[in-house]
Structure formats: C-alpha cells, structure tokens
Amino acid sequence: MNSATKGRMFGLIGLAGFSLWVTLSLGIGFYLSLRSSFWPTASAQVSSSSVSTGVSNIGRWWQPELTYEYRVGGHVYKSNTIRYLMPASDHEEDARQIQANYAEGRQTRAAFNPANPSESVLEPGVPAGMWWRALIPLFFWGLTGYIYYEIHHPERRLMLLPDIEAAGQEQADTPD
C-alpha cells in the first residue's frame, strides 16, 4: 500500500468515525422524540420562563429556557426540556414565541417517561420540519461508501494521476 492510499484510508476512517457520530447523535434524538410520543401526560405548571442568547461561530442565537413542575405518583418533579431535537434559533422572534407559549405560571401538560418519571417533555414527538435531518447521516455514509469504492478500485482514479503519467497512458493507448 503506497503512501497516497494510506492517506486515503486514514481519511476514510476519520469520515466513517464522523458518520457514526452524526448517526448516533441524530438517531438518539429521533429515538427519544418518537418514544416520547407514547408517554402518558401529567398536569404541569411553568415556574420560570425566559430566553437566553449567545454568539457562536455562525452568529447570534436565542434559546427559550424554562422550568416546569409536575406531579406523578405523589412525587413532584422539575424539568426544563421543552422537546427533543430543539436547536437554538437564529431568530429571536421564534424563541420568544416558544417562551410566550409557556409563560411563567401557565398550566400545561408534560409527557413523562413511565419508567423514569423525572424524564419529561412539554412537546412530545418529532418536531415538524425535523425529518429532513434523517438524510444527513445517509449523505455521510454514502460519501464514505463512495470513497471506499474509489480506494479499492484505483483504475477509476485516472483523474487523480499526475498529468505526466496520464499523458504516458494516453500515448500507450493510441495506435501508431
């Protein structure tokens, strides 16, 4: 195995690791979202509600933050999970709208995990518009498969050969 192939294999292993990480992180979010849609609900009261903000490498973001309390089996639980797969928003209005839906003191319903009642969400199920994220891991696994195929079929890599070797190949292929 030459050094170029070793480099490609090293890159392929890195891409496969990244693909696995993306698959697991999104997969867990989708799994929890789907699972929460079957949970029973309990009456809940919002005890605090605000919007936090910050700056990342792609710009300013806003995130609704709240705490709510609910009672299951005589025990009082506190949580702050609105829903799974809830990224921060680039628009303050979107975060403020969610916060307005759960104003401090408001009565609402919380879906809780019957096996672990301390785990709950206010909005169970997969949020609208999030199904397209399932395509992200497919893209990276497809890219990983393509690169793997290219590594194991070097005859297909004529574009990657240096110009001198390619020119020599063309001269050898042309009849005299």
**pLDDT for residue 164 is more than 50:** no
The torsion of the CA quartet 10, 11, 13, 17, rounded to 10 degrees, works out to 140
Query: What is the three-class DSSP state of 99?
Result: helix
> What does the pLDDT look like over 30-45, one tens digit per residue?
898 899 999 999 999 9
> What does the pLDDT look like over 99-127, one tens digit per residue?
899 999 999 999 999 999 999 999 998 87
- Give the Cβ contact number of residue 133 at 10 Å: 15
Query: What would the mean pLDDT of 149-175 be, rounded to a whole number?
Result: 60
DSSP state of 131: G
Largest Cα–Cα separation, the chain: 93
The owner of tokens 């090293």 is 10
> pTM (2 decimals)?
0.67
